[in-house]
Amino acid sequence: MYYRTREARSEFLRKVREEAIDFPDYEVIDSPSPELYKFIFPFKEVPRVFFDGIILPTELPSEIWITDTTFRDGQQAREPYTVEQIVRLYKYLHELGGPLGKIKTTEFFLYTEKDKEAVRRVKELGYKYPIPTGWIRAKKEELSLVKEAGLEETGILASISDYHIYFKFKASRGKVVEKYLSVVEEALKMDIIPRVHLEDITRANIFEVVVPFVRKLMKLSERYGLPVKVRYPDTLGVGVPIVEAMLPRSIPKLTWVLRHVCGVPSEWLEFHGHNDFHLGVANAVSAWLYGAGLNNGTLLGIGERAGNVPIEALVFAYAQLKHGFDGMNTKVITEIAKYYRDELGYEVPPYYPIVGRNFAVTRAGIHADGLLKNPETYLPFDTEGILGVKPGVAITPYAGLAGIVYWINKTFDLKGEEQVSKKDPKVQAIYKDVMKQFEHGRLTALSDAEMLALVAKHAPELIKKYWDRLPEDLKAKAVALLDLAERR
């Protein structure tokens, strides 16, 4: 396929030269047959990455934001939220985004009475951020739903790949694009800010369809004096965060083209990723790095198929790029995960980054020993200070004496001379009882309640002396254990 990469390189350089950028009649090029890029997307095999060798400079915008689609895309992958649940989650998004509104917008369906009630309820809260926005199909009659909801902005679905144009719509490129443009223009006439969703852009013909379409959108913006925002969704998760990769799969190149060939300001340019190939977060970060001002995600990444880009991941990516959270309340992330577990019945995988139960937990004795000496040895950041999550250890056959010591010191919040050590005979007795269980065939880690029972057996004075420091969920168990020990 070497000729393909040479061809792609030549086309890219030719299309972005100054004459092409300034050409006034840059029209959509119709084709009698669809461009499906079968050499990239063979369907019977996994998608392929080709390289054109063109490297572009990074240009992280001075300001970047996170946007939310929990109540739109996120609801397409689970049972719909109730209005009360939507209001609760919206409040969490507001708290997480902080006073600067780093979670800038959230979007809603507008079709059912429940959708409309949810919009009314969140607007009544009077929060500045996240700004409620709508989502509609590219139909002029649906713009009335946006007006009725009292929203200033709406997403408009604009499927842009030939897969959609030729097979879903059974129409020509020019006809489909003209329809989109007419809906966008009608929105502008109604003083609605359109946010055009270029569905399936990572399988689209960029220079023959996407570029002329988006440039026309920018001209409409100039004519009506309102922003026309552009969201570019990696609908099937086939984008790659590699700048040298060929279009249409390269998220860095797509971002650069939308910024510099189409002229979309960074603050109007928003990436929307999916995680089908485990690249959702990486693609989102590359979008920021190459000029997009906004990244779209859902709480816990819940979304179509393999999910969307998780908002909590975007929060931490933001902090790494901008060297701080800019007022985002990261401890709310832990509250959100707890709400999903306890109230919504959604089980977050224990190994899930940032919010999984195992995120700040080690199972290895050598790691526990390192944590005892300095928590920075095996933690990437202060999980307790940033997430409100104390680091912990799972008591397994590999936890060792160091694991027992770490569990006791953390559970009872022992400091300085209060702390127990590996040389303590009571710690050694607890360790022996633990190992007996595994020697007799146990496979699972000991629970906190089981560990507390061993402490009550071998060191009940710890429970009595440091009762006030015990986690609330263990106090009732501790009372029962002490009563049992006294009866014995």
Predicted pLDDT of residue 14? 80
Q: Tell me how far apart the alpha carbons of residues 178 and 458 are, in angstroms, rounded to a whole number.
A: 78
Closest of 322, 317, 319 to residue 285, by C-alpha: 317
Closest of 139, 151, 243 to residue 193, by C-alpha: 151
Domain 2-342, what fold? TIM Barrel (3.20.20)
Predicted pLDDT of residue 122? 98
Predicted pLDDT of residue 470? 82
Query: CB count, 10 Å around CB of 107?
Result: 27
Predicted pLDDT of residue 261? 93
Model pTM score: 0.88
Q: What is the pLDDT of residues 332-371, one digit of tens each?
A: 999 999 999 999 999 888 889 999 877 766 656 556 555 6
Tokens 């609760």 locate to: 88
Ramachandran angles phi, psi of 297, nearest 5° = -155, -175
| 136 bridge partner residues | 156
Predicted pLDDT of residue 271? 99
Predicted pLDDT of residue 371? 60
Predicted pLDDT of residue 19? 44
The parts of the chain modelled with pLDDT lower than 50 are 1-2, 19, 23
Predicted pLDDT of residue 362? 66
Residues with Cβ within 8 Å of 416's Cβ and at least 6 positions away in sequence, in order, are none
CA 22 to chain centre: 37
Q: Decide the pairing of beta strands 392-393 and 361-362.
A: parallel
Closest of 337, 249, 252, 257 to residue 300, by C-alpha: 337
Query: CB count, 10 Å around CB of 123?
Result: 15
Q: Where in the chain is the domain with CATH 3.20.20.70?
A: 2-342
Ramachandran angles phi, psi of 73, nearest 5° = -65, -35
Closest of 382, 451, 385, 377 to residue 412, by C-alpha: 451
Predicted pLDDT of residue 484? 58
Q: Tell me how far apart the alpha carbons of residues 215 and 232 are, in angstroms, rounded to a whole number.
A: 14
